[in-house]
Amino acid sequence: MPRPFRQYAHRFHLRRPRHVWLSPQMWRKRVVFSAGAALVGLVAVLFALAADRAQELFRILSDARPWLPFLLAPAGFALSAWLALRVVPGSQGSGIPQAIAARQIDRAEARNRLLSLRIAVGKIALTLLGLACGASIGREGPTVQIGASIMLAAGTFAGIGRQPGLILAGGAAGVAAAFNTPLAGVVFAIEEMSRSFERRTGNLVMTAVIIGGLAAMMLSGNYTYFGRTDAAVDWTDAAAVISTGLVGGIAGALFSRIVLGVNRSLARGRLARAAARPVLFALACGLVVALAGALSGGLTFGTGYSQAQQALAGEAALPWSYAPLKLLATAVCAVSGIPGGVFSPSLSVGAGIGSVLAGALPGSPVGAVILLAMTGYFAGAVQAPLTAVIIVMEMSRDPAMLLPLMLTALLASNIARLVSPHSLYHALAEAFLHSRREERAEARPVS
């Protein structure tokens, strides 16, 4: 037998199904991988419960003493920023940019600065600290970094290799478990985390999403994240689609532009004093968040989940000032240097926009307009229209809204690109990669 054919036959032999199914090493890898995905679901559920308790604690304290947020928010922001810098570096911000950047880093040491079990534990603790101090942050973005860290650790332990695929799978499982939206986990991995779907990691992603989602569902039930609404609009309701797409896309792009602009200014020294004193800058951000909360009657504190849910259920209309104040508070938190995501707050800003637009669209159901605005704003903020559609679709579970949601997301994302050409998460991820390249350049010996 010719040598090339023998080599081909050897490779074919190693890949035979019987070899795969009977290999103890392969079963060990599968068991560890599945256990890691289940752990992502478990951690996501426990994290959600703890986040609710942290917000409840802040609400109790602020209701008893309305002046307390002006002490809690600045002090909490300063402490969180200091801990993120000194104790758990790599935990700042959403966590999604870290996961995106880590997929492009080859060296394990550098990758572990962005994803590790230590960072995952710190991310949970500091996000809960932020929520207990009234920060306008979410837990879903952090869950992506946590999920990616867990899957990367599990894969390293099992000797799986293919770290980029493990990070992708862990991040997708984190989204699926955080929102209880399995399909959104797959779409998020394809559209936002990788921007190019790799066939070899496709099954890895879907397996992690299914196991993580099932684990979360077994523990918390088959709930809908924002409840259910029977309100729907037809795709021919041009007024609702165009208005929510336009306003949501522009507002989302404005949010992205603010966050990226401030981060670039901090990195390039244009805000030299703030960059030199990050803890003091975080304290000032806490004061702004406390002021926004006071002006909104306390509505802008926390994730914004309850406000969006009540608006969708028709229990309470959000005031016109809610959306701009929530946008401001979320943007300030995003640039402050404290750990915390923007998923839930962004959807809540969209709910505020929809609540106002619904008053100008008497022929359209309020709940449907709010869903469209949530999709439009989120698509504009992160420029990921498919992810926005699937997340809102799975959370509301109303198939009649699919086409209007897609049209709104498409319009919003295209408008957002005109206002803010750079994708929020990928631009932030590039900042991490740029810092890494600078470190390598400084470490390179001068000849």
Domains of the chain: 31-220 (1.10.3080.10), 238-433 (1.10.3080.10)
Q: What global pTM score does this model have? A: 0.85
What pLDDT sits at residue 386?
A: 83
Q: CA-to-CA distance for 144 and 344, rounded, in angstroms?
A: 13
Q: What angle (nearest 5°) sits at the alpha carbon of residue 37, between those of residues 35 and 43?
A: 100
Q: CA-to-CA distance for 56 and 63, rounded, in angstroms?
A: 10
Q: Which residues of the chain have pLDDT under 50?
A: 1, 5-15, 197-199, 202
The backbone torsions φ and ψ at residue 181, rounded to the nearest 5 degrees and listed phi first, read: -135, 85
What pLDDT sits at residue 210?
A: 56
What pLDDT sits at residue 34?
A: 86
What pLDDT sits at residue 339?
A: 96
Q: Are 231 and 366 in contact (CB under 8 A)?
A: yes
What pLDDT sits at residue 216?
A: 72
Q: CA-to-CA distance for 204 and 219, rounded, in angstroms?
A: 23
pLDDT in tens, 202-245: 456 656 765 776 677 677 765 666 665 655 565 557 888 999 99
Q: In 368-403, which positions are buried (b, 16+ CB within 10 angstroms) versus exposed (e)? A: bbbbbbbbbbbbbbbbbbbbbbbbbbbbbebeebee
What pLDDT sits at residue 13?
A: 47
Q: CA-to-CA distance for 140 and 128, rounded, in angstroms?
A: 12
